[in-house]
A and B are shown apart, each in its own frame.
Chain A
């Protein structure tokens, strides 16, 4: 992002050399570990499709629309996890003894994935709402607070893109992340705090679980499958962000070198 564009036209050949291998020999974000997770993700997603669409029963009141649950709950679970990871990584960056830009990149990568999954939650929930409530959207406490949290994290990503050094980006966004994460309990308990159209939770923080048998198991498969997908995306995205930062630094070094060369003339 801070790449000096003017330098590219100055000497395209040289610049493209540095661009081709910004991190020396590292050119792929895949490793045996991520490939293993990737395969496990594919297998668990296929399992989820079988359980969610075929093996789990239709609901006595909602019929087949209940199957949206396995996407809706799985994706929001990841959004919560992702935003929590963003907050923890941000705290790790802010704490001087563990300060490292790697934490910042994990925070950013995790927030991007969280936003993506929260969008999926809202989308799946909206379809479900149309089928059960009769409305794609209502302004009740749960739906509204979720939409607000979604917008907040888009704001967080915008803050990350404001410019300045990597350290400035890291510090600014870390503060935002630690404030934004406070919305998770608000969103989660919104169904208890206020009357709304959205149902109360069926499994989380309950002594009497209101989801049983294969339905509960399919939800469990969903949580596993989406968690694996999250892990895979997180590691790859963090590595891509590291390469981007390295490319920025390299571009800056290159620009400085150009200026020094000019001075030598």
Chain B
């Protein structure tokens, strides 16, 4: 009897997970350059957009963080009004922002940091890195 109960719970849980997945669409985000160009990425609707945070673009004022994100040479300014984005948020890192596009500015209410699959020891290439540091992000991916 315990097993039948467990099976019922499992079926319900499985259904919930699938529903959650399908309603959030299979692809998690639209790239910045696809907004308004790809189906599912229409500018008027609520979107998740992905791009790399531009170097030197992060500014914080009264709990509002503004920054620019770029992908494929297209840049979108983002206004995030829920304080400091968490995780590894920093310049030159790819992020996914949830929100709505309004008058060319993306009003975000959620920021998630998308770290890449590349790992490197912390202090190994310090010299090489610092010389490479310029006004743009050196994209490895």
Are B122 and A58 neighbours in the complex by a CB distance under 8 Å? yes
Per-residue contact bits, chain B 10-53, to A (CB 8 Å; 1 contact, 0 not): 11011001101100101111000000000000000000001000
Indicate if the CB atoms of A132 and B87 lie closer than 8 Å. yes
Please determine whether B14 and A141 come into contact, CB atoms closer than 8 angstroms: no
* A161–B6 alpha-carbon span in the complex (Å): 10
**Cα A155 to Cα B50 with chains together (Å):** 36
Whether A197 and B89, one on each chain, are in contact in the complex, defined by CB atoms closer than 8 angstroms, is no
Q: Do A132 and B113 form a contact, CB below 8 Å, given A196-B28, A212-B119?
A: yes
Please give, as numbers and ranges, the residues of chain A lying within 8 Å of B89 by CB-CB distance: 134
Shortest distance from the beta carbon of A54 to any chain B beta carbon, whole Å: 14
Known A63-B122, A210-B117: A158·B96 in contact at CB below 8 Å? no
Q: How far is the CA of A247 from the CA of B80 in the complex (A)?
A: 63
Q: Specify which chain B residues have a CB less than 8 angstroms from the CB of A194 in the assembled complex.
A: 26-28
Asked whether, in the complex, the Cβ of B20 is within 8 Å of the Cβ of A133, the reply is no
Contact yes or no, B88 A62, CB < 8 A: yes
A155 contacts B10, C-beta separation under 8 Å: yes
CB within 8 Å for A199 and B27 given contacts A62-B88, A135-B112, A155-B7: no
Which among B28, B86, B96, B129 has the greatest number of chain A C-beta atoms within 10 A? B28
Q: How large is the interface on B (under 10, 10 to 19, 20 to 34, 35 or more residues)?
A: 35 or more
- Given known pairs A59-B122, A199-B116, the reply for A131 and B87 (CB within 8 Å) is yes
Q: Would you give the 0/1 interface string for A133-145, flagging 1 where the beta carbon is closer than 8 Å to chain B?
A: 1110011110011
State the Cβ distance, B94 to closest chain A Cβ, in Å. Answer: 10
Contacts A63-B122, A139-B20, A141-B26; is A148 near B116 (CB within 8 Å)?
no
Q: Does B124 contact A (CB under 8 A)?
A: yes
Query: How far is B115's CA from A130's CA once the two chains are assembled, in angstroms?
Result: 12
**Other-chain contact of A211, B26, B112, B119 (Cβ < 8 Å):** B119
Tell me, in angstroms, the Cα distance from A158 to B5 when the chains sit together.
Answer: 9
B137 is an interface residue with CB less than 8 A from chain A: no
Are B17's CB and A61's CB within 8 A? Answer: no
Residues of A within 8 A of B88 (CB): 61-62, 131-134
Q: Whole-angstrom distance between the alpha carbons of A213 and B17 in the complex?
A: 38
Say yes or no for A154: interface residue by CB 8 A criterion: yes
A151: Cβ under 8 A from any B Cβ? yes
B8 closest partner in A (C-beta): A158
Point out residues on B near A: beta carbons under 8 Å: 2-4, 6-7, 10-11, 13-14, 17-18, 20-21, 24, 26-29, 50, 85-89, 93, 96, 111-125, 129
Q: Could you list 13 examples of A-B contacts with CB < 8 Å?
A: A60-B129, A61-B88, A62-B88, A63-B122, A133-B87, A133-B114, A147-B17, A158-B7, A163-B3, A194-B26, A194-B27, A196-B27, A214-B121
The 5 A-B pairs at the shortest CB distance, nearest first, are namely A134-B87, A134-B86, A161-B3, A57-B121, A155-B10
